[in-house]
Structure 1
Amino acid sequence: MGIFGNKKHKFSGFKGDLSEQQEDRLQEFKDIIREEKLTQDPRYDDYYLLRFLRARKFNMKKTLEMFKKFLDWRIENRADDAIWIDCCPSMDKIKEFYEFGYHGTDKQGRPLSIDKPCSFDIDDVLAIATKEELYAFYVKEYETTVHIRLPAASTAAGRKIEQTFNLFSIKGFTMKKLREKSRNIIKLAISIGQDNYPEIMGRMLIVDSPLFFRGAWALISPFIDEKTRKKISILGSKYHKQLFEYVDPENVPVDMGGECTCENEGGCYFSHKGPWKEYPADEFGEAGKEKLLEMKQKEESKSPSSSQSSQSESEVGAGIPSFENNREVSVNMVNVDLEANKTNNEERESVPEHQQPIEKKKKRRASIFCCKKKRYESDED
């Protein structure tokens, strides 16, 4: 062994980069789920379960507690239907003054989420949407990311993509923006993600931050777990050099210093630019194509540029009525399970083995399965 050969490898906890102990924990987790009959949903594969294990540092007791609460939460909030439900009818109105959305991918193929929360006043939002509607919308967004955006990004990249890249602009921030109403909404959004969709965010840049934001960050950061905080960088207005290390300018809107306008698709925050437009039905197979087509048509009718034929395909979720309460719906789903080669990366943000490029034709293994939604009791009771 050479002079540098004694450096101990730090396992990331992602599939393809697990220590022997982590492998044992994963198997134990799967055995308990089977023995206690917690769920038979085939969506909860190794990749999915490892997110919960990583979130709880492979502590089995804490992981089980988190996962059981997650399963109960899904039933209580009808998360299986969230993608198809028009949960917040006023969202299109909100997007007229609140700019946010997924727009392309970063250089690693991760979906790029852009959010400009200081572009509006919270009172304007709460005047047209209830907290319950906003909660349902956040659930819908997470479900869409997990079951539509990430699988489509994986298909496009030819390797498993499990996380997102988040660009968070706070231009126009004032301490007034952090009054109690705003803090409650922030806590709401953070809690949904941390409790039920752990390990989704791979990296976040908070940009356009004024000097006094550090004080505001002290109020917000306690709601964010330590592991997530380490993925966040806070930058001022001169953030573009660092941003473009992660994201190509062509995937960044012009108003954020990039090159994209999505001129023929209603603007960048309405276009839903990304591989989920090219591979919209990957997660839901043939049975989902009809619903996705309906969503596309509905989005086209709502978009500011609906008269243009090149309007974008819909981000999963807008305006699809819920399934009938007593109807059992089968949805074919595809779980892209990919091998990969491991590499090292700068900044401790190394790309795990399973996320490296592979030969699509030779090494991709797609297992198609059918996920039947649960029947929900009628609301008429």
Structure 2
Amino acid sequence: MAEENDFTVAGPLETPVVESEVQSLPHAYSCTLTPELVAKAREELQEKPEWRLRDVQALRDMVLKDYPNLRTRLDDGFLLRFLRARKFDYDKALQLLVNYHASRRSWPEVFHNLRPSTIKHVLDSGFLTVLPHPDPDGRLVLCLRPGKWRPSDYPFLDTIRAIYLTLEKLIQPEETQVNGLVILADYNGVGLAQASQLGPFLAKKVVGILQDGFPIRIKAVNIINEPRIFIGIFAIIKPFLKEKMAQRFILHGSDLNSLYQRIPSGILPEEYGGAAGKLNTADWSTTLLNSEEEFVVEFCQPDPLEGAALTDSMLFEGEPSEAQCDESYRGVRSQLYYCY
């Protein structure tokens, strides 16, 4: 973990938050979880309702002590996201919060001016949507269709921006914070044109943010209709996945019965043999686009620490050089061509 004052990050707040101001703020948090989800959070996340605000205050105090220049939201609801994502381990929650902000400063191409209107073309292409109904465990299903992306239409980073905004919206409800979410990735139509855009340097950044820099619990990644070339794609991604996350990738191929064992057909669209009607991408697009103003507040404020020195956080420690990545990518690229 970085030493005090080594790490300065700008976030949505325009003025510093001082300890006296934070402590004087009323606890406006009001739990929206059902009794069943309260019990689930207690069992799976070690969240004790009677200690909840005490735990939030402990994390808030750690932020103020260890990272006094970290411009971040410190309200109860926001900090609870990080505590739940790390099962109320204070140190891990703090590091996740630091990583969350470090990713923004370390990858400006993704996070600069990040608002739904700037990725409308990705939404219009049908690249992603969220299914209207959760699974039996209460987990929302994020549906990705990489084959809808054409490199000649827009850059790969735009798809990352669209995924990140979607996750930001999905993590707002407490139900998702407790239940987590499931990913359904349909690789139909993915070929060498798409696969060749992803190298180790880019893969590490994407995996690093989603795995270690965002307060969400990804419970499963279901891959369907994967072509032979997916062997090469996964070879690029897998070295950066923690073992627990790698085990959550399930490859179904074209076997929909295998998929139904993970995601019931009753909540799947007709395109995947389900009973939930045609796949609708328009509703989720509308949801994001209607949230434009909240994302402007979150991501598009002037940076009061512009030009300040920023050391790497643990999230990006040991990141390979471009030369190393080029060398590594030569070997992986040969696999892509072989698979193709």
TM category (shorter chain) comes to 0.5 to 0.7
CA offset at residue 252 of structure 1?
1.1
Instruction: Establish whether residue 320 from structure 1 lines up as the match of residue 336 from structure 2.
Output: no
For residue 142 of structure 1, what is the amino acid of its counterpart? L
| The one of 130, 134, 139 aligned to 1:102 | 130
C-alpha distance in 1 between matches for 2:264 and 2:235: 31
Q: Which residue of 1 aligns with 2:167?
A: 142
Secondary structure at the aligned position of 1:172 is classed as coil
Closer/same/farther in 2, CA of residues 323 and 378 from structure 1, 3 Å limit: farther
C-alpha distance in 1 between matches for 2:204 and 2:301: 29
Q: Which residue of 2 aligns with 1:203?
A: 220
Q: Which residue of 1 aligns with 2:185?
A: 168
| The one of 30, 34, 37 aligned to 2:61 | 34
C-alpha distance in 2 between matches for 1:42 and 1:243: 38
CA offset at residue 253 of structure 1?
1.7
Moved more, 102-111 or 61-70: 61-70
| The one of 217, 236, 248 aligned to 1:231 | 248
Closer/same/farther in 2, CA of residues 45 and 162 from structure 1, 3 Å limit: farther
Contact 1:166/1:203 (<8 A) preserved: yes
C-alpha distance in 2 between matches for 1:199 and 1:323: 18
Structure with higher helix content: 2
Instruction: Establish whether residue 65 from structure 1 lines up as the match of residue 99 from structure 2.
Output: no
C-alpha distance in 2 between matches for 1:209 and 1:375: 37
| The one of 256, 270, 289 aligned to 2:282 | 270
**Can you list the C-alpha shifts for 1:69-102, whole angstroms capped at 9, x where unaligned?**
32455689798x96x652324334433xx3x210
Closer/same/farther in 2, CA of residues 44 and 174 from structure 1, 3 Å limit: same
For residue 230 of structure 1, what is the amino acid of its counterpart? Q
Q: Which residue of 1 aligns with 2:208?
A: 191
Instruction: Establish whether residue 124 from structure 1 lines up as the match of residue 153 from structure 2.
Output: yes
Identity percentage over the alignment? 15
Moved more, 248-257 or 41-50: 41-50
CA offset at residue 62 of structure 1?
5.6
CA RMSD of aligned residues (A): 4.3
**Can you list the C-alpha shifts for 1:11-44, whole angstroms capped at 9, x where unaligned?**
xx95334679xxx9x9788525315526632124
C-alpha distance in 2 between matches for 1:185 and 1:31: 35
**Can you list the C-alpha shifts for 1:130-182, whole angstroms capped at 9, x where unaligned?**
83x555433311111101xx44x56xxxxx74311111121234345321457
Secondary structure at the aligned position of 1:166 is classed as strand
CA offset at residue 378 of structure 1?
8.0
Contact 1:86/1:319 (<8 A) preserved: no
| The one of 233, 245, 259 aligned to 1:243 | 259
What is the number of equivalent residue pairs in this alignment? Answer: 252
Instruction: Establish whether residue 48 from structure 1 lines up as the match of residue 82 from structure 2.
Output: yes
C-alpha distance in 1 between matches for 2:159 and 2:138: 28
C-alpha distance in 1 between matches for 2:289 and 2:199: 25
Q: How does 1:72-83 map to 2 (within 5 A)?
A: 73=103
Contact 2:186/2:223 (<8 A) preserved: yes
C-alpha distance in 1 between matches for 2:45 and 2:217: 18
Closer/same/farther in 2, CA of residues 318 and 229 from structure 1, 3 Å limit: farther
**Can you list the C-alpha shifts for 1:283-311, whole angstroms capped at 9, x where unaligned?**
xxxxxxxxxxxxxxxx6xxxxxxxxxxxx
CA offset at residue 125 of structure 1?
2.4
Instruction: Establish whether residue 252 from structure 1 lines up as the match of residue 282 from structure 2.
Output: no
Q: Which residue of 1 aligns with 2:323?
A: none
User: Which one scores higher on RCO, CA 8 angstroms, separation ≥ 6?
Assistant: 2
The gaps in structure 2 that reach 5 residues or longer are 1-39, 68-72, 307-340
CA offset at residue 315 of structure 1?
2.0
CA offset at residue 220 of structure 1?
1.9
Contact 1:202/1:231 (<8 A) preserved: yes
C-alpha distance in 2 between matches for 1:202 and 1:163: 6
CA offset at residue 110 of structure 1?
0.8
C-alpha distance in 1 between matches for 2:296 and 2:46: 46
C-alpha distance in 2 between matches for 1:318 and 1:69: 28
The gaps in structure 1 that reach 5 residues or longer are 1-12, 155-159, 273-298, 300-313, 326-372
Structure with higher strand content: 1
CA offset at residue 191 of structure 1?
3.3
